[in-house]
């Protein structure tokens, strides 16, 4: 455990230094993370105004609150590991990771956390600016805020495990762009990023409740905004815990099977 803690600490320091070294890339990436939810926010607030009422239980200011919180939650749970995995295998850099005594997933988690540590202050500033611009209707409560913390931690872990499992497809094919794109579209649609899930037709809401994506983004957002009952919060946390267990078992099995096929393409 001490060695694992040291790994996370050192990886966090290295990751933060790397992120600060490439400041231009960081700024471009942050702009993209703000623009996407901002576009959806503008679209749905426009739809709400045109109907002179609510859409899926959301009014104009409700949509503003939803997407501002979603922007922060998505930032705290997002990972990019599946977009880099095939490169690491093609170039042979993954060989060194396999020689380490600790599972490679820990270094990836630490690197992801370091990026969040650097980028979160900028995202909070962006959220503050959007709040002044769109006047969202926040409905926070201490009870919801307390439940939000474990929900956010579980959301991050579940999302990372799912993404890491998808990334393992790179052991089977050196080009995984199509797989990553399908996964990205599923996350975008069923997590509540394109629209709050209450806006979707009922059959799609059922599918969203079955898949893990809602529980990694939409659920923490709805929780913090006070749109869930105590029973729904308890059920959601239980489902997140179940997906965490399933994700852990899936990663262990997929890793054991996939690593047997490893062969570096590069030097």
The larger pLDDT score, comparing residue 253 to residue 16, is at 253
- Ranking 46-50, 88-92, 251-255 by mean pLDDT, the lowest is 88-92
Which one-letter DSSP state was computed for residue 160?
Answer: H
Torsion of CA 177, 183, 184, 186, to 10 degrees: 150
Instruction: Give me the mean pLDDT over the 49-78 stretch.
Output: 90
The two structure tokens encoding residue 226: 């006070």
**Can you state the angle between helices 60-77 and 23-51, rounded to 10 degrees?**
150
Extract long-range pairs of 156-160: CB within 8 Å, 24+ residues apart: 156/76, 156/77, 156/216, 157/244, 157/247, 158/212, 158/215, 158/216, 158/240, 158/243, 158/244, 158/247, 159/77, 159/78, 159/79, 159/212, 159/216, 159/217, 160/77, 160/79, 160/81, 160/108, 160/109, 160/112
Q: Is the pLDDT confidence value at 20 over 70?
A: no
Q: What pLDDT, on the 0 to 100 scale, is given for residue 34?
A: 87
pLDDT band at 1 (very low <50, low <70, confident <90, very high): low
Q: What pLDDT, on the 0 to 100 scale, is given for residue 141?
A: 86
Q: Is the pLDDT confidence value at 262 over 60?
A: yes
Neighbouring C-beta atoms of residue 111, cutoff 10 Å: 21
Q: Is the pLDDT confidence value at 219 over 90?
A: yes
Q: Is the pLDDT confidence value at 266 over 60?
A: no
The larger pLDDT score, comparing residue 54 to residue 253, is at 253
Instruction: Give tens-digit pLDDT for 118-170.
Output: 888 889 999 999 999 999 999 888 889 999 999 999 999 999 999 999 998 88
Q: What pLDDT, on the 0 to 100 scale, is given for residue 30?
A: 77
Q: What pLDDT, on the 0 to 100 scale, is given for residue 68?
A: 95
Instruction: Give me the mean pLDDT over the 89-96 stretch.
Output: 79
Interacting residues of 14 by C-beta distance below 8 A, sequence separation 6+: 114
Q: What pLDDT, on the 0 to 100 scale, is given for residue 2?
A: 61
CA gap 57, 227 in Å, rounded: 10
Q: What pLDDT, on the 0 to 100 scale, is given for residue 263?
A: 65
Q: Is the pLDDT confidence value at 213 over 90?
A: yes
């Amino acid at each position: 455990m001490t060695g694992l803690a040291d790994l996370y600490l050192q990886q966090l320091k290295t990751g933060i230094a790397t992120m600060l070294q490439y400041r231009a890339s960081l700024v471009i990436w942050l702009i993209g993370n703000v623009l996407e939810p901002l576009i959806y926010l503008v679209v749905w607030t426009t739809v709400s105004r045109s109907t002179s009422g609510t859409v899926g239980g959301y009014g104009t200011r409700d949509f503003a609150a939803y997407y501002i919180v979603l922007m922060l939650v998505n930032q705290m749970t997002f990972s990019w590991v599946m977009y880099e995995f095939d490169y690491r295998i093609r170039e042979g850099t993954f060989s060194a990771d396999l020689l380490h005594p600790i599972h490679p997933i820990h270094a990836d988690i630490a690197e992801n956390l370091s990026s969040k540590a650097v980028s979160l202050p900028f995202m909070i500033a962006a959220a503050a600016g959007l709040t002044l611009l769109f006047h969202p209707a926040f409905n926070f409560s201490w009870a919801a805020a307390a439940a939000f913390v474990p929900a956010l931690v579980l959301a991050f872990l579940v999302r990372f495990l799912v993404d890491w499992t998808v990334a393992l497809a790179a052991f089977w094919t050196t080009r995984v762009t199509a797989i990553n794109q399908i996964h990205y579209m599923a996350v975008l649609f069923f997590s509540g990023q394109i629209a709050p899930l209450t806006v979707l037709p009922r059959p799609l809401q059922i599918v969203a409740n079955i898949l893990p994506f809602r529980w990694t983004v939409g659920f923490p957002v709805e929780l913090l905004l006070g749109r869930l009952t105590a029973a729904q919060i308890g059920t959601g946390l239980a489902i997140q815990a179940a997906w965490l267990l399933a994700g852990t078992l899936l990663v262990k099995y997929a890793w054991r099977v996939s690593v047997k096929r490893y062969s570096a393409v590069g030097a």
